[in-house]
């Protein structure tokens, strides 16, 4: 299909030509010279001008698009004095276009293609990281007229075009070192030729609108999730156009913040679990919004986990924890949760200024059904400026259940309401319990599997006489330990 239009035109011309003196004219016209290709700034269309072929029998000219060394006919001008052409199907706004022309005579002979000239295609790119605009273009040919240099013009927000600068003929780029954000910049480039000729490029525009950073980032909380780590959540200004964020952590007050994750969010929320953190140490976190240049532009308040410590002395359990760090609001209160074996269903509300609590173990020992009694502290936020209520829980701290058994060896079931009942004293709630009391002959006088049931000193409704009896106790403790105890019990009647 190459050269199809060219050959079709020749056939038409040959068919319409009249022979002269019975002879056929087979001599091609002299090739015209393509002098200039430029882009009209108002229409965006390429305009071509050429020197007429000096041959006497020129009937017109053919304009070609020139690609990969081949000409593709765009239009035929049946006018021997035509020396210019405007191409209305142009893509000059998107790429550089090359053209050639040829002359044809009345016999259909067509000249060789002319020299090639192409449009200047200008591109711009914004470098927002360095506040620069880069303008580049392709070189304009220096034949048949020499290029002496290039002039760059620009306009801001539809204003008049002014000169941005000039470069020599061997340079194809120019840099605007500062620009105003949220504006439209438009550019074109002139190739300056000898004899005051100018080839103008396409016009190209760029918006310097920048990403809107968040005006605020709220560190909602840092909370400990058992066997998972520290869970962090952040709420981000919903009007932000930035979606990339940098999460940093430091451990203890003397270390520096270190990057631990790059995160993204398009919905104004970020949740992250730090499973590398030691929950027994205070860890501090902050989140920064990162622009396209990977530069942090705004940082959240700092959040930190609560670390609960436990010390025990006899019947007292001393609990202490650090204040929650740097909520944008304030700590409304702390809540101490207690698990004696059936879940953290007991709780104590603590004033926001207090960070210690003493627990009396004996108040809870008979509630315990596991090997440990455990605690955690939760902090609740109030007065947050963005109506966000943060809640942070500490690590879990536990102490082992005391598994002591104390059995009296004397009791006086005489009805005076003093020492009238006998049962072993346990410092825990047993998982299994069996108490058997027998007389000296091995006869069982009392048996129970209920650790709260006591012997009142009777047998089959009759008072047991004074003397010595035997007891045997089997228990399984909350920690799973099986214990067996045996001993003697002396029954005394004071009246």
Assess whether pLDDT exceeds 80 at residue 458.
yes
User: What percent of the chain is modeled with pLDDT above 90?
Assistant: 72
Residues 6 or more apart whose Cβ sits within 8 Å of residue 58: 29, 52, 80, 103, 104, 105
pLDDT of residue 292: 81
Q: How far apart are the C-alpha atoms of 381 and 427, rounded to whole Å? A: 38
Q: How far apart are the C-alpha atoms of 229 and 194, rounded to whole Å? A: 74
Per CATH, which fold does 4-118 belong to?
A: Immunoglobulin-like (2.60.40)
Q: How far apart are the C-alpha atoms of 241 and 246, rounded to whole Å? A: 15
The CATH class of 122-207 is mainly beta
HSE (side-chain half, CA atoms, 13 Å) at 156: 13
pLDDT of residue 9: 43
Q: How far apart are the C-alpha atoms of 322 and 325, rounded to whole Å? A: 8
Burial status of residue 134 (CB atoms within 10 A of its CB: 0-12, 13-18, 19 or more): middle
Token look-up 């020499």 returns 146
Closest CA to 204 of 254, 154, 263, 255: 154
Instruction: Give buried/exposed letters for 196-221 (b at 16+ CB in 10 A, else e).
Output: ebebbbbbbebebeeeebbeebbbbb
Q: How far apart are the C-alpha atoms of 286 and 227, rounded to whole Å? A: 23
Angle CA 346–348–352, to nearest 5: 150
More confident residue, 328 or 414: 328
Assess whether pLDDT exceeds 80 at residue 20.
no
pLDDT of residue 89: 85
Superfamily of domain 308-400 in the CATH hierarchy: Immunoglobulins (2.60.40.10)
Task: Give the Å distances, CA to CA, from 402 to 164, 361, 451.
Answer: 86, 9, 16
pLDDT digits (tens, 9 = 90+) for 130-147: 889 999 999 999 999 999
More confident residue, 26 or 71: 71
Instruction: List beta partners, residue 167.
Output: 150
pLDDT of residue 12: 41
Per CATH, which fold does 217-304 belong to?
A: Immunoglobulin-like (2.60.40)
Q: What is the CA radius of gyration of the chain?
A: 48
pLDDT of residue 345: 87
Token look-up 């942070």 returns 392
| Range list for CATH 2.60.40.1220 in the chain | 405-491
Query: Which residue spans within 322-371 are E strands per DSSP?
Result: 330-339, 346-350, 356-360
Query: Which residue spans within 78-121 are E strands per DSSP?
Result: 84-86, 98-105, 117-118
- Which two three-digit tokens encode residue 230? 């520290």
Closest CA to 71 of 12, 116, 137, 135: 116
Do β-strands 482-491 and 410-411 pair in parallel, antiparallel, or remain unpaired?
parallel
The phi and psi torsions of 367 (rounded to 5 degrees) equal: -90, -15
CA dihedral 250, 251, 254, 257 (to 10 degrees): -10
Per CATH, which fold does 405-491 belong to?
A: Immunoglobulin-like (2.60.40)
Q: How many CB atoms lie within 10 A of CB 122?
A: 24
- Asked whether the beta carbons of 322 and 334 are under 8 A apart, the reply is no
Angle CA 268–274–275, to nearest 5: 145
- Which two three-digit tokens encode residue 470? 């035997």
Q: How many CB atoms lie within 10 A of CB 453?
A: 14
Burial status of residue 144 (CB atoms within 10 A of its CB: 0-12, 13-18, 19 or more): middle
pLDDT of residue 148: 97
For residue 6, the SS3 value is: helix
pLDDT digits (tens, 9 = 90+) for 198-248: 999 999 999 998 888 899 999 999 999 998 999 999 999 999 989 999 999
| Range list for CATH 2.60.40.10 in the chain | 4-118, 122-207, 217-304, 308-400
pLDDT of residue 23: 53
Assess whether pLDDT exceeds 50 at residue 15.
no
- Which two three-digit tokens encode residue 111? 């000249």
Task: Give the Å distances, CA to CA, from 340 to 348, 361, 367, 371, 481.
Answer: 14, 11, 6, 9, 17
Q: How far apart are the C-alpha atoms of 242 and 211, rounded to whole Å? A: 6
């Amino acid at each position: 299909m190459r050269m199809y239009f060219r050959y079709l035109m020749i056939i038409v011309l040959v068919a319409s030509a009249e022979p002269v003196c019975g002879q056929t004219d087979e001599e091609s016209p002299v090739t015209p010279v393509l002098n200039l290709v430029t882009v009209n700034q108002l229409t965006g269309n390429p305009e071509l001008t050429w020197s007429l072929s000096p041959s006497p029998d020129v009937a017109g000219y053919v304009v070609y698009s020139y690609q990969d060394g081949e000409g593709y006919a765009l239009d035929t001008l049946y006018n021997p004095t035509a020396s210019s052409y405007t191409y209305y199907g142009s893509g000059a706004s998107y790429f550089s276009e090359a053209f050639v022309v040829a002359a044809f005579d009345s016999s259909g002979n067509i000249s060789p293609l002319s020299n090639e000239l192409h449009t200047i295609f200008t591109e711009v790119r914004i470098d927002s990281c360095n506040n620069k605009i880069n303008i580049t273009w392709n070189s304009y040919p220096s034949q048949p007229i020499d290029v002496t240099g290039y002039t760059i013009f620009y306009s801001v927000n539809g204003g008049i075009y002014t000169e941005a600068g000039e470069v020599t003929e061997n340079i194809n780029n120019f840099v605007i070192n500062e620009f105003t954000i949220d504006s439209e910049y438009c550019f074109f480039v002139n190739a300056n030729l000898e004899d005051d000729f100018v080839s103008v490029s396409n016009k190209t525009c760029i918006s310097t609108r920048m990403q809107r950073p968040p005006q605020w980032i709220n560190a909602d909380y840092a909370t400990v999730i058992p066997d998972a780590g520290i869970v962090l959540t952040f709420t981000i200004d919903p009007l932000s156009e930035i979606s990339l964020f940098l999460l940093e952590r430091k451990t203890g007050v003397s270390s520096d913040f270190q990057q631990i994750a790059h995160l993204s969010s398009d919905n104004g929320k970020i949740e992250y679990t730090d499973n590398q953190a030691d929950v027994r140490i205070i860890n501090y976190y902050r989140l920064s919004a990162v622009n396209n240049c990977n530069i942090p532009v705004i940082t959240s308040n700092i959040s930190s986990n609560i670390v609960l410590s436990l010390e025990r002395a006899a019947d007292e359990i001393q609990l202490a924890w650090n204040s929650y760090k740097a909520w944008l609001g304030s700590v409304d209160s702390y809540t101490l949760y207690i698990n004696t074996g059936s879940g953290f269903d007991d709780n104590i509300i603590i004033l926001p200024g207090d960070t210690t609590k003493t627990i009396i173990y004996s108040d809870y020992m008979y509630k315990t059904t596991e090997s440990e009694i455990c605690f955690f502290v939760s902090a609740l936020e109030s007065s947050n400026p963005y109506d966000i209520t943060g809640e942070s829980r500490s690590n879990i701290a536990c102490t082992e259940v005391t598994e002591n058994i104390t059995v009296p060896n004397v009791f006086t079931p005489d009805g005076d309401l003093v020492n009238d009942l006998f049962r072993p004293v346990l410092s825990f709630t047993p998982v299994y319990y069996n108490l058997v009391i027998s007389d000296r002959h091995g006869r069982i006088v009392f048996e129970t599997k209920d650790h709260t049931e006591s012997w009142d000193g009777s047998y089959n409704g009759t008072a047991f006489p004074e003397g010595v009896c035997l007891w045997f106790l089997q228990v399984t403790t909350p920690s799973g330990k099986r214990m067996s105890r045996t001993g003697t019990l002396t029954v005394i009647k004071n009246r």
